[in-house]
Amino acid sequence: MIYNNIDFNNKTILITGGAGFIGSNLAFYFQENFPNSKVIVFDCFRSDEIFPNGNQKSFGHFKNLIGFKGEVICGNINNIDDLKRLNNYKIDFMFHQAAISDTRVYDQEIIFKTNVNSFYDLLAIAKNNQAVIVYASSAATYGRQPSPQTVGNESPENPYGYSKYLMDQIAYKYSNENPEMTIVGLKFFNVYGPGEYYKGKTSSVVIQLGHQILNGKAPRLFEGSDKIFRDFINIKDVLQANIKACNPKQNGVYNVGTGNPRSFQDIADILQKELGTDLGNDYISNPYDDYQVHTQADISSSIINLSFKPIVSLEQGIKEYIPEIKRLHGANPS
Ligand SMILES: NC(=O)c1ccc[n+]([C@@H]2O[C@H](COP(=O)([O-])OP(=O)(O)OC[C@H]3O[C@@H](n4cnc5c(N)ncnc54)[C@H](O)[C@@H]3O)[C@@H](O)[C@H]2O)c1
């Protein structure tokens, strides 16, 4: 799918975090739609390092890149020497996805070094190359702000959310100081779709519940899940937002959601329908008293300034995802 009239053929495209969920989808998007583009994936991939919460320190996985024909650089955005490898290229577009993406990491030093410090370096690289830079911000910047979450009304509740909030502030300032640059931040809401499996416990509820059902178990949900809403956004619409962000009416930070929140119960019900099961539900009490029960992206400025228009419904997105959920059922997650 081509989303605007930018011709990425003969352009050099850097994707940081390109071995991860969104980054690898971007890499294949360019490979398939712009076969003469030069795509560089820069990612530290996963190591044996584990955070105290039991999750991997980084989720990049070679299996997300099987079939990718572009260049792959294993490098750490925190390492200036690794970043120097990028001096060999004249970059036209940079999609900065690399981050500690786990919202439940509380080691503030590693989060801010990875998500914030490196952003300064990548902005400088974009500036030197006169490259467009589109970076991943997050709905986590809103914390428990009431719906609809609107850009400018952030109140992050965890280090991850604050790191993305800081990135937005840096981007605004950099943009003011360098008005000739194109700098766009995208606040992704709950993204789901192929490529997320290797995020383990931080992958979306869609694949996690899908695998529970394929295990013959009733989907495990918090009590009242029909009243717990999230703005789930399909990976295809996230690609659309990234492409359209390359040609914004104005620099800025934009929400990437559907504006149409759906409940966790909806997800479980759609999955059971598509998988042909009738296992009921396994309700458990919600241990969090400060749980966010409703997110909904205000996408008005994304529509105006990016011409962003989400097109994949939850029903369609899950239906199309089912073969991949089945393929990965029981696959080695590490
Ligand atoms: N998936 C979502 O629902 C969602 C929602 C909001 C924001 N985001 C943001 O979007 C971006 C992409 O998310 P994702 O879901 O693809 O996550 P992901 O964890 O799959 O991808 C991040 C990639 O960055 C790489 N990485 C991590 N630290 C690195 C480092 N120091 N140097 C080089 N590479 C490093 C990882 O190996 C991984 O491949 C992230 O910035 C994330 O915070 C994602």
Name all residues whose Cβ lies below 6 A of ligand 1: 17, 19-23, 43-45, 58-60, 76-78, 97-101, 114, 136, 138-139, 188, 190-191, 199
Which amino acid does the sequence have at 273? K
Question: What does the pLDDT look like over 304-333, one tens digit per residue?
Answer: 999 999 999 999 999 999 999 999 999 999
Bond preceding residue 310 cis, omega within 30 of 0: no
Asked whether residue 288 carries a pLDDT value surpassing 90, the answer given is no
CB-based contact 159:261 (threshold 8 Å): no
Name, in order, each residue with C-beta under 8 angstroms of 300's C-beta and a sequence gap of 6 or more. Answer: none
110 pLDDT tier (thresholds 50, 70, 90): very high
Residue with tokens 């990028």: 86
Residue nearest to atom 43 of ligand 1 (CA): 101
Q: What is the mean pLDDT of residues 192-206?
A: 97
At 220 the pLDDT is 97
Segment 136-162 mean pLDDT: 97
Amino acid identity of 203?
Answer: S
Mean pLDDT for the chain overall: 97
CA–CA dist 217, 15 (Å, integer): 38
Task: Please say if the pLDDT value at position 289 is more than 90.
Answer: no
C-alpha of residue 283 to centroid of ligand 1, in Å: 30
Task: Give SS3 for 249.
Answer: coil
Instruction: Kindly give the distance from the C-alpha atom of residue 263 to the centroid of ligand 1, in angstroms, as a whole number.
Output: 25
Dist CA 334 CA 324 (whole Å) = 17
Q: Report CA(198)–ligand 1 centroid distance (Å).
A: 11
- Tell if the pTM clears 0.85, that is, is over it: yes
List active site positions. Answer: 160, 199
Whose CA is closest to atom 20 on ligand 1? Answer: 20
Distance spanning both ends of the chain, measured CA to CA? 31
- Hey, which of 56, 77, 96, 97 would you mutate to test ligand 1's pocket, going by the most ligand atoms within 8 Å of its Cβ? 97
Rounded Cα–Cα distance for residues 73 and 54 (Å): 27
Looking at ligand 1, which residue's alpha carbon is closest to its atom 37? 60
Q: How far apart are the C-alpha atoms of 174 and 122, rounded to whole Å?
A: 12
Whether the per-residue pLDDT at 290 is higher than 90: the answer is no
SS3 94: strand
Ligand 1 nearest-atom number relative to CA 23: 16
* Residue having the nearest C-alpha atom to atom 44 of ligand 1: 188
181 pLDDT band, cuts 50/70/90, is very high
pLDDT over 90 (residue 164): yes
Percentage of the chain with pLDDT > 70?
100
Distance 168 CA to ligand 1 centre (A): 16
- Rounded to the nearest angstrom, the distance between the alpha carbon of 100 and the centre of ligand 1 is 6
Among the atoms of ligand 1, which is closest to the Cα of residue 188?
6
Cα-to-centroid distance, 97 and ligand 1 (Å): 5
Atom of ligand 1 nearest to the CA of 114: 31
- CA-61 nearest atom, ligand 1: 39
Is residue 27 within 8 A of residue 65, CB to CB? The reply is yes
Q: What is the pLDDT of residues 25-80, one digit of tens each?
A: 999 999 999 999 999 999 999 999 999 988 999 999 999 999 999 999 999 999 99
Assess whether pLDDT exceeds 90 at residue 119.
yes
Per-residue pLDDT averaged across 200-211, rounded? 97
**Of 139, 75, 155, 78, residue with least CA distance to 103:** 139
Among 101, 113, 267, residue to substitute to test ligand 1 (most atoms within 8 Å of Cβ): 101
Report how far apart, in Å, the C-alpha atoms of 236 and of each of 256, 311, 320 are.
Answer: 11, 9, 11
